[in-house]
Structure 1
């Protein structure tokens, strides 16, 4: 199914860190920067979509309304989306759908978060039908342990080593040096990673991303509005996928805790591959056309998984690309030129939008100090919860 593209008119971010202020301040900063980048007056905006943040009280649950009020009521319609780490992409898809339906011309999509110290735990209360809550409360499996299962699986199936995982961090840390919005801007070595504390074997502290405060925003406009505003050769969103698995032709990934298959299901096909398949089909683009990728690296091993899930290499070949330098800026398929979550940390409703910001800068040729030369097609990936995630494909 092919879908008409929509225009990315502007992008903006609030630098990520631990600032200890309201998520609203971060979101407004990013939104105003995106509007300025687009050259779009606030009075032209007819839709505001907010990425929900579950850690910031009622204002976070109605993020669309919160951001609309803080920006200044102008009569715009509002929406709020939540999909865990895929929140930003789902919010973007909501805005895109209204534009394609002719119900909106100019949309501002905003995600922002203020996070607590330490890993992200489920909210208070008992939720016995929530697999995420169950793995925390009954199994004691916090996110680092969850990531470690993925890492151990790669080691067992494909011969990955702790040194490979460490090299992902080394690469991303080097990429992030030139990113003014990154929280961590310091080179590390393989020895630094392997010498950091073991959090959940085989992953060390520097293999796992931190939690951060931060924000990102994207201004989407219709083709008609772009023509009227004189936007020439703009970046376009050619596809967004937030698909669920198709049973029984896929393996439900953790946190369902299924790492292999039974009943004739191909054990090499995870639901994350379905996300890649869907976005390529929607955009009419092949994996070989992709020039640059921003993927979900909550842990170093997850970056390697996503490279294969998106078809950027064959199953079990990600380590070979990494070792050959193919995923570094200047290589065949640079991955996470922004520095990734390794350099930003996790601000859940903002991270999928931050990836779109980075790819927009890359495709415009404006990613100073980290530019992927000649980039015309970029792809993102994020994992949500319970068998869903997201991928956004951008072209120029």
Structure 2
């Protein structure tokens, strides 16, 4: 799927905490309307829709989109854990790139409950059973939420391998808040310090509570179309998806007995490598990235998985300020999952929106200067990784 597809419109709503949320269908409809308005087209021109959410009954996607009109188009509901939003984007882009349709809508939303993520069903096999078995071989169980144990274990392994200081992980949270202060869609905008992050309650490994993304509600959407369709309808063709790859777990996830691989390092690296090969873009060309920082540990190891810095150099990358404004590549100008929030189904499409705004020069105080290409990384345990390269073409 090497054909370029146009991101004609993006939209989202401000993310909120669960106690302040609107119902999922209200949020979803609002984000879809914002994307359509940004594109400048009516819903009647959309030929397929892919709708992502993790916590919700079947056909919730129809419930969210029926408020836009009863057009009879295919509406496909998508659930791929934390990579759900970008999985919906992947399917919409694939439908357009293949020529099956000329215009597709990708929508993601989540109405989350308070507290840590939990399994929805206890009367059937867990999709994490194989992951749990390997994790139990590598580290003792604690009282921390299961995701914190997984990603905290990955951070602990990285620390032991490279001698990284715990405070280095905390610096990522500090950076995240600084970026989020300029994002009206973010949940947490107040600054924090390394000392405050380190003093927050301990979770697992190097992680403390201020190094974990909060449960969040929200929605985001994107209109994807062919260049021919965009020009026919007078749409903005400035931003295209020039390459995209989706991977799932490899044998190495389970056989290598490696906590970083348990949380998707190999999936992310393989997807990124495919995108670089397909596009001809190298990591050195990237100046802005939205990556999956569900925990600070995942942001740190993902710097290396995406090739932004060589293996074992993430600490230097952070201490040198190469992950923020004035450095080599601005990571998560939106504030990322840590500060913007992480409504599971919406995250991948919120990342898309931020990068489209960056490429258009519409990111206001968050704007990274001279952006011509932008990289997105979204991952879900269980597992799936989607890496997307956006390009400014006019």
TM-score by length of 2: 0.91
| Rounded Cα–Cα distance in structure 2 between residues aligned with 1:311 and 1:235 | 23
Contact between 1:135 and 1:142, CA under 8 Å: does it hold in 2? no
> Is the partner of 1:313 in helix, strand or coil?
coil
Question: Counterpart in 2 of 1:316?
Answer: 312
Q: SS of the residue aligned with 1:327?
A: coil
- Of 280, 287, 294, the residue aligned with 1:291 is 287
Residues 138-173 of structure 1 deviation map (CA, whole Å, 9 limit, x = unaligned)? 956611111210110110112221110111011110
- Output the CA distance in 1 between the equivalents of 2:256 and 2:75: 36
1:276 corresponding residue in structure 2: 272
Q: 1:48 aligns to what SS in structure 2?
A: strand
Secondary structure at 2:2 match in 1: coil
**2:15 counterpart SS class:** strand
Alpha-carbon separation, structure 1, partners of 2:225 and 2:316: 40
SS of the aligned residue for 2:319 comes to: helix
Given the alignment, which residue of 162, 165, 170 partners 1:161? 165
- 2:6 touches 2:227 (CA, 8 Å); kept in 1? yes
Matches within 5 A, 1:232-381: 232-247=236-251, 251-252=252-253, 258-259=257-258, 270-381=266-377
Aligned residue number for residue 201 of structure 1: 205
Q: Is the 8 A contact 1:128 1:134 kept in 2?
A: no
Helix, strand or coil: the match of 2:318? helix
Match of 1:212 in 2: 216
- Equivalent position of 1:72 in the other structure: 69
Matched, 1:5 2:16: no
Q: CA, structure 1 residues 109+65, in 2 after alignment: closer, same or farther (shift >3 Å)?
A: same
Residue 30 of structure 1 corresponds to 31
Cα contact 2:7–2:224 (8 A) shared by 1? yes
Q: Count how many residue pairs are aligned between Structure 1 and Structure 2.
A: 381
For structure 1, the 5+ residue unaligned runs are none
* Separation (CA, whole Å) in 1 of partners of 2:84 and 2:372: 25
Shift of 1:232: 4.9
Q: For each residue in 1:76-102, what CA deviation from the matched residue of structure 2 results, as whole angstroms up to 9, or x when unmatched?
A: 222122211111111111111221222
Work out whether residues 7 and 237 of structure 2, in 8 Å CA contact, stay in contact via their aligned partners in 1: no
Does the 8 Å CA contact 2:8/2:237 hold for their aligned counterparts?
no
Q: Say whether the 8 Å CA contact 2:116–2:215 is kept in structure 1.
A: yes
Unaligned runs of 5+ in 2: none
Shift in CA distance, 246/151, structure 1 to aligned 2, threshold 3 Å:
closer
1:53-202 counterparts in 2 under 5 A? 53=54, 55-56=55-56, 58=57, 61-128=58-125, 130-131=127-128, 135=132, 142-202=146-206
Q: CA RMSD in A?
A: 2.4
Task: Name the CA distance, whole Å, in 2 between partners of 1:123 and 1:33.
Answer: 31
Shift of 1:245: 4.5
Structure 1 residues 271 and 127, CA gap change in structure 2 (3 angstroms): same
C-alpha change, 1:318 and 1:108, in structure 2 (3 Å) is same
How far, CA to CA, are the matches of 1:213 and 1:271 in structure 2?
27
Distance 2:119 2:331 in 1: 30
Return the alpha-carbon distance in structure 2 between the equivalents of residues 6 and 65 of structure 1: 25
Asked if residue 20 in structure 1 is aligned to residue 16 in structure 2, the reply is: no
Deviations 1:172-219 (A, max 9, x none): 100000100001111111111011111223211101111100111001
Q: Is the 8 A contact 2:80 2:87 kept in 1?
A: yes
Q: 1:364 to 1:200 in 2, by over 3 A?
A: same
**In structure 1, distance between residues paired with 2:110 and 2:334:** 19
Paired residue secondary structure (1:381): strand
